[in-house]
Chains A and B, each alone.
Chain A
């Protein structure tokens, strides 16, 4: 029987990521003057779980580093050494190295061996200094190693009952229960054996796994039992229920399963609306009863839909939580005093968005601290408090989420932005509206930082930030006033699976325009429509707007091509503003976005498809891609 241990790697990486995050959070909140033993315990447990897992999978570098870290943590929680802010710093640095190492294992790239060694050294020195003891080294003594290994193994339920009892006395074993998550219920004893056998390739673990051989079992008992009485028996009892409760609180589900569920519920909604269409045709008493049942069904489907959608949702805090650390590191590096305030961290947002938010948010927060917040002296001069404030906020408005990065720093420097824009050959005038000036900073190669630091100033960032945000269907707005601070607001759709759309008809087809892009719709008068060469433009809001006929663009038969007979919907994409000509408006509704590429291929101008209440397919317009199609001159150049 061969079992691919690699299948468990993903789970291990996920869990280790979580453990690292937990540790970081706990370290950040740790009160150095009066450390909470329970918190130190939690940090220790997290480190220990990573060590256990990495031992099982033969990730030696990870194991060695966590091992030394764990030693130090062990001393700390037993109050043998005093946790100082220096030690917290060392731990935080170690966490960074651990993260890199974990990534290296995950992506199978080269290990950051230098940092690992350096980290181990620093930790050992700290340990030696703090406790006055000489630490043997990163490598476990055989006996210790054996103890560790057997503790992990206990999790597989591999040992006899009496064996396990002996183990429980060892303090580490209880902690290792967390490690069981790696194998879930699949970890049958036989499997564990073969896992273990595979492991034997990794040289260092060898000794530990030798114990799997039945004839060696007694040896193992001997080697661990001396270690057992070291710790009081009470401890594992204390930690065990906690681990169990944690597991019951959530389960790990593959996102594809949830996506499949979202799809099915979408189907259910469609079927339900078909049914209610039919139901309206039934008359008499039966019809009334049917209508009641359909109403009930409608309520239930809506609730199912909401709860399924909520499965994909996670609190924004998942992203925000990393920022106390970023702010702390950066502000101390730059010699600035910055308070971070997090608001609305419980606002929920689609999981896929959370992951993609990290980079742009990090960039914006770093920008705020580096460029926005002034040095303490300057702040005092300007009559502000010494500590700058950066607010990270999230709130839901309708079907979008607004994430704000607000600082009370110097604000954007209008003169310098304009100067830089002129230097870069952009057409600017000083009397441009502020909002347009601020948008200039999203141009590639645009940085107004006086000097390039390793934090920011290279001007590669903001255009990437904007692109990242646009790639997840969002947009970014800036408010700023000189001397008072600046605010960046990221508007994001609540989810990528559902879009609020305006349904329009063209010929016999229905198209859905994402509401996010719609400015307004109206029936144009003849005087508003001008002809420019072969193209038509609209004069409205004191501007010329390119006009795109959906009938022509989407090659629909029998659509209206005469602007005054149809309806024009003004759209705003990230690149252009323009109007599209449609036959009529049908209504607003939420639609589930379906991929066209799954069974066909990408179609220009179309973001995806959806299924309407009658079961028919409607295309969802992609405002950006339609803009690329509209050949008319962009508004700026049209203005006369």
Chain B
């Protein structure tokens, strides 16, 4: 993907802010405008017949919100839950979804030039869910296209909506 998506991601302003987080040993980042809040992991209510990476639902001030563990989905790191496990609450297309991550590190500012095209392999995420890569303080940060990931059929979080068409 996709020059177009990359363009789209950065066209709003020269510099975009990303929230970086850790899954296993890898550093990822997602567009901060999709983040609703960050909270600790709490006990979920399981949903019958859901895939294992959908942990269940929680009560987010009256909204029943599903919690997805990306570590299970993409087989990175270990899916352990302790007091330090973090859930990033995302607001994508008027839906709220929580994703479980090992930790949240920083808010980073990236301009278009900082972004490198994503590799075809070697990353847990399919490249169609990625904006690209960036080098931040000696780390490689993988920029996730969280909107296309959350609405993808692969996660199966959304019933009727077709997958968001790239570009």
Interface string of B42-54 (1 = CB under 8 A from A): 0111111110000
Q: Residue on A with the closest CB to B161?
A: A601
Q: A509 with B45: in contact, given A609-B57, A609-B64 (CB under 8 Å)?
A: yes
Closest Cβ of chain B: how far from A529's Cβ, in Å?
A: 24
With a cutoff of 8 Å between Cβ atoms, the chain A residues found around residue B96 in the complex are 599
With a cutoff of 8 Å between Cβ atoms, the chain A residues found around residue B154 in the complex are none
Q: How far is the CA of A267 from the CA of B65 in the complex (A)?
A: 15
Q: Residue on B with the closest CB to A268?
A: B62
User: Contact at B64–A596, with CB atoms within 8 Å?
Assistant: yes
Closest Cβ of chain B: how far from A494's Cβ, in Å?
A: 21
User: Contact at A556–B46, with CB atoms within 8 Å?
Assistant: yes
Closest Cβ of chain A: how far from B105's Cβ, in Å?
A: 26
Q: How far is the CA of A606 from the CA of B59 in the complex (A)?
A: 17
For residue B124, CB closer than 8 A to chain A, the reply is no
Q: A617 with B48: in contact, given A599-B64, A599-B96, A609-B64 (CB under 8 Å)?
A: no
For residue B144, CB closer than 8 A to chain A, the reply is no
With a cutoff of 8 Å between Cβ atoms, the chain A residues found around residue B59 in the complex are 270, 611, 615-617
User: Contact at B95–A618, with CB atoms within 8 Å?
Assistant: no
For residue B143, CB closer than 8 A to chain A, the reply is no
Closest Cβ of chain A: how far from B19's Cβ, in Å?
A: 20
Q: A555 with B46: in contact, given A601-B158, A601-B159, A602-B159 (CB under 8 Å)?
A: yes
Interface string of B26-48 (1 = CB under 8 A from A): 00000000000000000111111
User: Contact at B45–A598, with CB atoms within 8 Å?
Assistant: no
User: Contact at B49–A617, with CB atoms within 8 Å?
Assistant: no
Closest Cβ of chain A: how far from B156's Cβ, in Å?
A: 8
For residue A633, CB closer than 8 A to chain B, the reply is no
User: Contact at B95–A609, with CB atoms within 8 Å?
Assistant: no
Q: Residue on A with the closest CB to B98?
A: A599
User: Contact at A600–B57, with CB atoms within 8 Å?
Assistant: yes
Q: A554 with B48: in contact, given A599-B95, A599-B96 (CB under 8 Å)?
A: yes
Q: How far is the CA of A169 from the CA of B91 in the complex (A)?
A: 58
For residue A264, CB closer than 8 A to chain B, the reply is yes
With a cutoff of 8 Å between Cβ atoms, the chain B residues found around residue A266 in the complex are 62
With a cutoff of 8 Å between Cβ atoms, the chain B residues found around residue A601 in the complex are 156-159
With a cutoff of 8 Å between Cβ atoms, the chain B residues found around residue A519 in the complex are none
User: Contact at A609–B45, with CB atoms within 8 Å?
Assistant: yes
With a cutoff of 8 Å between Cβ atoms, the chain B residues found around residue A617 in the complex are 44-45, 56-59, 64
Size of the chain A interface, CB-CB below 8 angstroms: 30
Q: How far is the CA of A596 from the CA of B97 in the complex (A)?
A: 12
With a cutoff of 8 Å between Cβ atoms, the chain A residues found around residue B43 in the complex are 616
For residue A586, CB closer than 8 A to chain B, the reply is no
Closest Cβ of chain B: how far from A264's Cβ, in Å?
A: 7
For residue B118, CB closer than 8 A to chain A, the reply is no
User: Contact at A597–B159, with CB atoms within 8 Å?
Assistant: yes
Interface string of A280-307 (1 = CB under 8 A from B): 0000000000000000000000000000
Partner of A603, one of B48, B61, B62, B157: B48
With a cutoff of 8 Å between Cβ atoms, the chain A residues found around residue B156 in the complex are 601
For residue A263, CB closer than 8 A to chain B, the reply is yes
Partner of A555, one of B49, B58, B97: B49
Interface string of A252-274 (1 = CB under 8 A from B): 00000000000110110010000
User: Contact at B49–A616, with CB atoms within 8 Å?
Assistant: no
Closest Cβ of chain B: how far from A614's Cβ, in Å?
A: 10
For residue A594, CB closer than 8 A to chain B, the reply is yes
For residue A208, CB closer than 8 A to chain B, the reply is no
Interface string of A613-626 (1 = CB under 8 A from B): 00111110000000
User: Contact at B62–A264, with CB atoms within 8 Å?
Assistant: yes
Q: Residue on B with the closest CB to A556?
A: B46
Q: Residue on A with the closest CB to B44?
A: A617
With a cutoff of 8 Å between Cβ atoms, the chain B residues found around residue A555 in the complex are 46, 48-49
With a cutoff of 8 Å between Cβ atoms, the chain A residues found around residue B106 in the complex are none
Q: How far is the CA of A264 from the CA of B45 in the complex (A)?
A: 21
User: Contact at B62–A611, with CB atoms within 8 Å?
Assistant: yes
B residues 133-163 touching A (CB-CB < 8 Å):
156-159
With a cutoff of 8 Å between Cβ atoms, the chain B residues found around residue A609 in the complex are 45, 57, 64
Closest Cβ of chain A: how far from B72's Cβ, in Å?
A: 16
Q: A553 with B62: in contact, given A600-B157, A601-B158, A609-B57 (CB under 8 Å)?
A: no
For residue B120, CB closer than 8 A to chain A, the reply is no
Q: A267 with B45: in contact, given A600-B57, A601-B158 (CB under 8 Å)?
A: no
Closest Cβ of chain B: how far from A60's Cβ, in Å?
A: 39
Closest Cβ of chain A: how far from B18's Cβ, in Å?
A: 23
B residues 83-127 touching A (CB-CB < 8 Å):
95-97
User: Contact at A616–B47, with CB atoms within 8 Å?
Assistant: no
For residue B66, CB closer than 8 A to chain A, the reply is yes
For residue A428, CB closer than 8 A to chain B, the reply is no
User: Contact at A267–B48, with CB atoms within 8 Å?
Assistant: no
Closest Cβ of chain B: how far from A510's Cβ, in Å?
A: 8
For residue B63, CB closer than 8 A to chain A, the reply is yes
Q: How far is the CA of A154 from the CA of B50 in the complex (A)?
A: 62
Q: How far is the CA of A588 from the CA of B48 in the complex (A)?
A: 23
Q: How far is the CA of A270 from the CA of B158 in the complex (A)?
A: 28
User: Contact at B48–A605, with CB atoms within 8 Å?
Assistant: yes
Q: How far is the CA of A616 from the CA of B62 in the complex (A)?
A: 10
User: Contact at B157–A606, with CB atoms within 8 Å?
Assistant: no
Q: Residue on A with the closest CB to B47?
A: A603
For residue A341, CB closer than 8 A to chain B, the reply is no
Centre residue among A555, A599, A609 by max chain B CB count within 10 A: A599
User: Contact at A599–B97, with CB atoms within 8 Å?
Assistant: yes
With a cutoff of 8 Å between Cβ atoms, the chain B residues found around residue A264 in the complex are 62
Closest Cβ of chain A: how far from B159's Cβ, in Å?
A: 4
With a cutoff of 8 Å between Cβ atoms, the chain B residues found around residue A606 in the complex are 47-48
With a cutoff of 8 Å between Cβ atoms, the chain B residues found around residue A553 in the complex are 48
Closest Cβ of chain A: how far from B86's Cβ, in Å?
A: 19
With a cutoff of 8 Å between Cβ atoms, the chain B residues found around residue A594 in the complex are 62-64
For residue A166, CB closer than 8 A to chain B, the reply is no
User: Contact at B57–A596, with CB atoms within 8 Å?
Assistant: yes
For residue A595, CB closer than 8 A to chain B, the reply is yes
Centre residue among A556, A597, A604 by max chain B CB count within 10 A: A597
Q: Residue on A with the closest CB to B57?
A: A617
Q: Residue on A with the closest CB to B96?
A: A599
With a cutoff of 8 Å between Cβ atoms, the chain B residues found around residue A556 in the complex are 46
With a cutoff of 8 Å between Cβ atoms, the chain B residues found around residue A598 in the complex are 63-64, 95
Closest Cβ of chain B: how far from A437's Cβ, in Å?
A: 38
Q: How far is the CA of A266 from the CA of B62 in the complex (A)?
A: 8
Q: Residue on A with the closest CB to B157?
A: A600
Closest Cβ of chain B: how far from A222's Cβ, in Å?
A: 56
User: Contact at B49–A603, with CB atoms within 8 Å?
Assistant: yes
With a cutoff of 8 Å between Cβ atoms, the chain A residues found around residue B58 in the complex are 617
User: Contact at B66–A618, with CB atoms within 8 Å?
Assistant: no
> Assuming A263-B62, A603-B47, A609-B57, what are 6 further A-B pairs, CB within 8 angstroms?
A270-B62, A599-B95, A600-B65, A601-B157, A606-B47, A619-B47
B interface residue numbers (CB < 8 A to A):
43-50, 56-59, 61-66, 95-97, 156-159
Top 9 closest pairs, chain A to chain B, by CB: A601-B159, A617-B45, A554-B48, A600-B66, A267-B62, A609-B64, A611-B59, A599-B95, A555-B48
Q: List 23 A-B contacts (CB under 8 A).
A: A267-B62, A270-B62, A509-B45, A509-B46, A554-B48, A594-B63, A598-B63, A598-B95, A599-B64, A599-B96, A600-B47, A600-B57, A600-B65, A601-B157, A601-B158, A601-B159, A603-B49, A609-B64, A617-B56, A617-B58, A617-B59, A618-B45, A619-B45
